[in-house]
Structure 1
Amino acid sequence: MGQLLSHPLTEKTIAYNQYDHISAHTHKAHLLHRSKNTDSKEPERTPQFFNCVGSMQGYRLTQEDAHLVANCDTALDIKFYDPFKECEENLVMSLFGVFDGHGGGECSQYVSSDHNHNEGICKWIKLAFESHEYGAFGSHEKLSKVHKRKFRTIEGLICQVLKDAFLMQDRELYCHFANESCGSTGILAVIINGEMLYVANTGDSRCVLSTKGRGVKTLSYDHKPQHIGELVRINDDGGTVSLGRVGGVLALSRAFGDFQFKTSVSYTNSATGSATQRYVAPAQEAQVTVEPDVLPHRICYERDEFLVLACDGIWDLYSNKNLVQFIKYHLTLGLKFDEIVTKLLDHGISSADSNTGVGFDNMTIIIVALNQQGDSLAHWYGKMKIRLEREKGLIA
């Protein structure tokens, strides 16, 4: 394995987002503000949700993974109508996503692309939030206003809006990859105004949350063809599952792209459903659907510590609990995110087993610190080190 570890395909790409440029900018602006107002007691504001992305092609012929980080100066600014409050709100969204492509990296690269929020899933999330037509039960809106659907909670409404964004993204992908066999999973963590976390998942990439007291909260569930709910949908749409794969080919049951398994879905506006036409199924009922599961979580900064998002190349090697323990162990030793991610990827490639195939996949991971607004990265590291040492009984 020593020779394999020096192979160019095992070279790692690490992006450690400490947002130093923003810290310097906000510090300068803060000093200028204080010089104009000597009585100001406003604390200096620092970036939030420091993160590190690590990826490695491994022994695959191509790198088909992609990722998305839209945070701090690249976060989404969205105008959202809240039917529960009956007013328009300004939302700031931080997005972290991992997209594991298969059959090529075209779909994963397309979904993760973000050019001023005018491409990829960012574009559709912004559009879905700003143009939704959902209402709220018990609101005092005009009776003449027509809603596509009404919800009892804002969390339920936002979960549906995120599902809409995934479906709209898949419709756009059809315009480019209708005759291609490529596809991609998607795990996306959306943090709104630093308060609410929504995790949307389609496929078998995964997101977990580390909490105080050795807690590990699962925020996504793998979509596998043999799971009963997935199996029923596949069979109802005329598909089959053999050897744990849809049509004996695809090892997951939800994904962007993979339009060869979505032939019953119409992606044009011309379908009328007449008797002379073939059966047209909703996109949610296709053999392989893009519709994600969405789990909401209200962030508690006293308990919640960090998020981990990763593709199945990582989860093939670690259970949810073991991966969080690996990260916490190295945080206790004083290592930073970039060093921990490097060790994770090195351990993954060194565990490659030709008998099982484990360790041969592309690997991508994102670790996101859940630091409060105003906390520096150094403060978060220090707080975590003390907490973990106490949990291990190393200090009183």
Structure 2
Amino acid sequence: MVETMRQFSSMFNGLARSIRGKNSGNGDGKEAAEAMAKDAKKNDLILRSSGSVNVDGSNNLASVFSKRGRKGVNQDCAIVWEEFGCQADMLFCGIFDGHGPWGHFVAKKVRESMPSSLLCNWQETLAQASLDPEIDLESDKKHQRFHIWKHSYLRTCAAVDHELEQHRKIDSFYSGTTALTIVRQGDLIYVANIGDSRAVLATTSDDGNLVPVQLTVDFKPNLPQEAERIVQCKGRVFCLHDEPGVHRVWLPDEESPGLAMSRAFGDYCIKDYGLISVPEVTQRHITCRDQFVVLATDGLCSAGMGCCIQSGSSSNSIFDTGQAESS
């Protein structure tokens, strides 16, 4: 696997071998993607329960903790998946903060669907890039990797949101979830954010102290680019008198649903009025200064889930994801 990471152009062949010969090397990226997705679905029972997929003998450390607030059912859920995509140096982490009457079901459904869908789209995109004579994967490995992951995430989120809308047993018309996920691949991390959960990197300054670096934007309705899109779609953004400073998204002619974020899965009552499920995808190179990443929802009662990863090069990288329910 180390060689496949060093030689990005050969990564697809390594992936094909990792799914035990199901893709016979005929260049059919779709077959490889389908086989990988099938393998991923074998972990469904694990995803529905603990939210972690661990590897025997791994040097990674993972702990999961969640605390219910005073609202009732805890609508947050999370996942840590080691050796994501059958790659020894890849890891998938995510937190999902549900809201609305069916929010806990929506969050769990997105957690179950997103990893395997992302693997499928990543495999297809990687295969297409490997076979496209106009794309030179060796020319700019970092840029090409980012382009492949971003394209995969965009396709995945669109597919997951469409699947959720068609789900017969989950009513997500007035319910939804955020989704903040990270893929670590070697010394790079790819962050995809939908909603107002937050990723913060703890890195070491020159004087040896830990300093926070925010990796994501909280997608609140009053952000200029978000508000402009909502207003253009005939939605409204304003605060209630008893909630000064809390901007919410409202339908054109009624005070509903009052969503306090501008991006989310679900919430189809307002999808035609500016709410979107398009992720912002970014990347960051991990250095020896970087210590851990905190993924956190916007609740007030802090809780957490952590994963400590030995980098295999020059540093330890800790990915720590926090969940919280609002009090």
> What TM-score bracket applies, with the shorter chain setting the length?
0.5 to 0.7
Residues 133 and 309 of structure 1, relative CA distance in 2, 3 Å threshold: closer
Paired residues of 2:193 and 2:280 also in contact (CA < 8 A) = yes
Q: Is the 8 A contact 1:223 1:253 kept in 2?
A: yes
How many residues matched?
A: 240
Give the aligned residue type for 2:145: I
1:229 aligns with 2:225: yes
Distance in 2 (alpha carbons) for counterparts of 1:57 and 1:154: 38
Compared CA separation, residues 180 and 17, structure 1 to 2 (3 A): closer
**Which residue of structure 1 aligns with residue 105 of structure 2?**
106
Q: How far apart are residue 91 of structure 1 and its match?
A: 8.0
Cα distance in structure 2, aligned partners of 1:142 and 1:372: 33
Aligned counterpart in structure 2 of residue 169 of structure 1, from 160, 169, 173:
160
Gap regions ≥5 residues in structure 1 = 1-14, 24-45, 78-89, 114-119, 144-150, 265-285, 315-347, 349-362, 382-396
Is the counterpart of residue 96 in structure 1 residue 87 in structure 2?
Answer: no
1:155 aligns with 2:128: no
2:307 counterpart of 1:368? yes
1-structure distance, mates of 2:69, 2:303:
10
Write the deviation string for residues 189-209 of structure 1: whole angstroms up to 9, x where unpaired: 1112x3210111111111111
Residue type of the alignment partner of 1:95: F
Residue correspondence of structure 1 range 141-152 to structure 2 within 5 A: 141-142=132-133
Q: Report the alpha carbon displacement of residue 152 of structure 1 after superposing the two structures with TM.
A: 6.2
Number of the residue aligned with 1:22: 56
Matches within 5 A, 1:53-202: 53-72=64-83, 75-77=84-86, 93-103=90-100, 104-113=103-112, 120-132=113-125, 141-142=132-133, 153-176=144-167, 177=170, 180-192=173-185, 194-202=186-194
User: C-alpha distance in 1, partners of 2:121/2:165?
Assistant: 18
TM-score normalised per structure 1: 0.54
Partner-residue secondary structure (3-state), 1:55: coil
Give SS of 2:261's match.
Answer: coil
Deviation at 1:293, TM superposition (A): 0.8
Paired-residue identity, %: 28
Q: Report SS of the residue matched to 2:293.
A: strand
The DSSP-based 3-state class of the residue aligned with 1:76 is helix
Asked whether the 8 Å contact 2:125–2:151 carries over to 1, the reply is: no
> C-alpha offsets along residues 153-187 of structure 1, whole Å, 9 cap, x if unaligned?
43233223212211111111111146631100011
One-letter amino acid matched to 1:124:
S
Q: Does 1:293 align with 2:280?
A: yes
Secondary structure, counterpart of 1:162 in structure 2: helix
Q: Is the 8 A contact 1:65 1:108 kept in 2?
A: yes
Give, in angstroms, the shift of residue 22 of structure 1.
2.4
Larger Rg: 1
Q: Which runs of structure 1 show a deviation greater than 6 angstroms over 4 or more consecutive aligned residues? A: 15-19, 133-136
Please give the alpha-carbon distance, in whole angstroms, between the structure 2 residues aligned to 1:55 and 1:67. Answer: 9
Report the 3-state secondary structure (helix = DSSP H, G, I; strand = E; otherwise coil) of the residue aligned with 1:132.
helix
* Partners of 1:181 and 1:260 within 8 A in 2: yes
From the superposition, tell whether residues 230 and 16 of structure 1 become closer, same or farther in structure 2 (CA, over 3 Å).
closer
Go from structure 1 to structure 2 and tell me whether the alpha carbon gap of 1:372 and 1:152 turns closer, same or farther (over 3 Å shift): closer
**Structure 1 residue 304: Cα displacement:** 1.1
The answer (yes or no) to whether the contact 2:195–2:219 under 8 Å persists in 1 is yes
The question of 1:209 aligning with 2:148 is answered no
Task: State the Cα distance separating 1:76 from its structure 2 match.
Answer: 2.5
- Preserved contact between residue 80 and residue 307 of structure 2 (Cα < 8 Å): no
Cα offset, 1:366, TM superposition: 2.9
Using a 3 Å threshold, how does the CA distance of structure 1 residues 294 and 364 change in structure 2: closer, same or farther?
farther
State the distance in 2 between where 1:371 and 1:134 align: 29
* SS of 1:166 mapped into structure 2: helix
CA–CA distance in structure 1, aligned partners of residues 120 and 154 of structure 2? 12
Q: Comparing 154-163 with 206-215, which one deviates more in the overlay?
A: 154-163
Q: Equivalents in 2 of 1:372, 1:159: separation in Å?
A: 23
Secondary structure of 2:278 counterpart: coil
CA distance 1:299–1:106, shift in 2 (3 Å): same
Query: TM-score by structure 2 length?
Result: 0.65
